[in-house]
């Protein structure tokens, strides 16, 4: 049996009775999966907000990782996405358990996430290139659909605005109006839904590969926000200029119509706003407000 402390982040993320039961069963579950797949532990465990990841070696000597997360609709989507991408720009799925929460994945270099690349433009260009490839793939059947997610968000807006001050409420309504306009064409591509700089690791098969998808079917414009709101310090000196630079680089790389991409990015801001209100936060995150305000402002004409 390997010994490790349950990371604090996982304790915070899995507070429900089911989550706590899952945490308590983790050591036994790891032992069982090591045995089932004939794996040998090979280094310290890692984690994100949701999952525990153990480096392992397979019986044939190949390095891999065992990734454990409580099985949910998200892990089912992740499996469907990983299968459809089949390693193209993304970590390869080697096997998984019946419930879908335990995955055996190709090992990448966890010490070299894309967030460790100092140059913002370079990191963004890598992220944009991966996003363009991933979102070019049609979504397989059975995935959650952006149309359903967006419609459910719009239903929540009247409730959410009652919990916000007038300026935040107005911004939420503006985002909702933008989403309502594009909702009839929700898109059918395979989205990652969480492609930020720590969800890209250096690999050997390809210099950079995505991990940790929460796939859904929809418009690629809905996938841009993590590339806009992370590494915020790099745009902090000139927020409108920096956000525009990022947005233009992303929409060029993905060949997206800027108006539609703006609408779906506002949809993503709306989603974050609704999650914040659900969590009892009294105001929207300033970074989210800054991104929405920048994208809503008219573009200055080049002289
Ligand atoms: N295929 C992999 N190879 C090496 N390390 C990995 C791999 N997948 C995940 N990790 C490590 O585990 C961490 C958490 O994994 P991730 O899939 O991003 O889960 P979470 O949803 O918890 O963020 C990553 O940030 C990385 O350090
Ligand atoms: Mg992650």
For residue 176, what are the CA distances in angstroms to 181, 260, 274, 286? 9, 14, 11, 18
Residue 123 tokens, joined? 């990191």
Q: How confident is the model at residue 190 (pLDDT cuts 50, 70, 90)?
A: very high
Length of the chain: 303
Mutate to test the pocket of ligand 1, among 106, 110, 115 (most ligand atoms within 8 A of CB): 110
Q: CA-to-CA distance for 100 and 83, rounded, in angstroms? A: 12
Q: Is the CB of 172 under 6 A from ligand 1?
A: no
Q: Which of 119, 148, 194, 279 is catalytic?
A: 194
Q: Is the CB of 49 under 6 A from ligand 1?
A: yes
- Residues 49, 1: contact at Cβ < 8 Å? no
Q: Is the CB of 108 under 6 A from ligand 1?
A: yes
Q: CA-to-CA distance for 48 and 142, rounded, in angstroms? A: 27
For the stretch 202-250, pLDDT in tens is 999 999 999 999 999 999 999 999 999 999 999 989 999 999 999 999 9
pTM of the entire structure?
0.96
How far is the centre of ligand 2, averaged over its atoms, from the C-alpha of 198 (Å)? Answer: 6
- Mean pLDDT, residues 241-264 taken together: 98
Rounded to the nearest angstrom, the gap between the alpha carbon of residue 227 and the centroid of all alpha carbons in its chain is 10
Q: CA-to-CA distance for 3 and 270, rounded, in angstroms? A: 42
- Residues 223, 213: contact at Cβ < 8 Å? no
Q: Is the CB of 105 under 6 A from ligand 1?
A: yes
Which run of H or of E encompasses 70? none
For the stretch 41-65, pLDDT in tens is 999 999 999 999 999 999 999 999 9
Residue 73 has pLDDT above 90, yes or no: no
Residue 19 has pLDDT above 80, yes or no: yes
Residue 199 has pLDDT above 80, yes or no: yes
Q: How confident is the model at residue 5 (pLDDT cuts 50, 70, 90)?
A: confident
Of 14, 41, 37, which is closest to residue 25 (Cα–Cα)? 14
Q: CA-to-CA distance for 281 and 51, rounded, in angstroms? A: 25
Q: Say whether 97 is catalytic.
A: no
Q: Is the CB of 198 under 6 A from ligand 1?
A: yes
Of 300, 296, 272, which is closest to residue 286 (Cα–Cα)? 272
Q: CA-to-CA distance for 211 and 217, rounded, in angstroms? A: 17
Mutate to test the pocket of ligand 1, among 9, 13, 201 (most ligand atoms within 8 A of CB): 201
Ligand 1 atom with minimal separation from the 13 CA: 22
Q: Domains in the chain, please, with CATH?
A: 8-107 (3.30.200.20), 113-296 (3.90.1200.10)
By DSSP bridging, strand 200-202 and strand 208-210 are antiparallel
| pLDDT at residue 2 in the model | 75
């Amino acid at each position: 049996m390997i010994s490790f402390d349950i990371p604090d982040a996982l304790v915070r993320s899995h507070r429900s009775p089911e989550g706590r039961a899952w945490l308590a069963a983790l050591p036994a579950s790891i032992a069982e999966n090591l045995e089932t797949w004939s794996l040998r532990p090979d280094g310290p465990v890692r984690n994100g907000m949701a999952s525990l990841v153990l480096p392992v070696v397979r019986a044939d000597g190949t390095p891999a990782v065992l990734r454990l997360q409580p099985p949910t609709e998200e892990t089912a989507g992740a499996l469907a996405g990983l299968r459809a991408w089949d390693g193209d720009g993304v970590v390869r799925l080697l096997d998984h358990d019946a419930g879908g929460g335990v995955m055996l994945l190709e090992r990448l270099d966890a010490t070299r996430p894309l967030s460790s690349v100092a140059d913002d433009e370079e990191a963004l260009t890598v992220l944009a290139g991966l996003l363009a490839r991933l979102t070019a793939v049609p979504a397989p059947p059975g995935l959650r659909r952006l149309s359903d997610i967006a419609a459910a968000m719009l239903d929540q807006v009247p409730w959410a605005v009652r919990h916000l001050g007038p300026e935040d409420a107005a911004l939420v309504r503006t985002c909702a109006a933008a989403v309502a306009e594009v909702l009839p064409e929700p898109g059918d591509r395979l989205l990652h839904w969480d492609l930020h700089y720590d969800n890209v690791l250096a690999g050997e098969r390809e210099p950079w590969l995505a991990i940790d998808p929460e796939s859904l079917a929809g418009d690629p414009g809905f996938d841009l926000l993590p590339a806009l709101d992370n590494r915020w310090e790099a745009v902090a000196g000139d927020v409108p200029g920096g956000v525009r630079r990022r947005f233009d680089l992303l929409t060029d790389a993905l060949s997206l119509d800027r108006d539609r991409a703006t609408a779906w990015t506002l949809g993503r801001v709306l989603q974050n706003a609704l999650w914040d209100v659900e969590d009892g936060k009294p105001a929207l995150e300033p970074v989210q407000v800054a991104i929405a305000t920048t994208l809503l402002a008219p573009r200055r004409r080049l002289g």
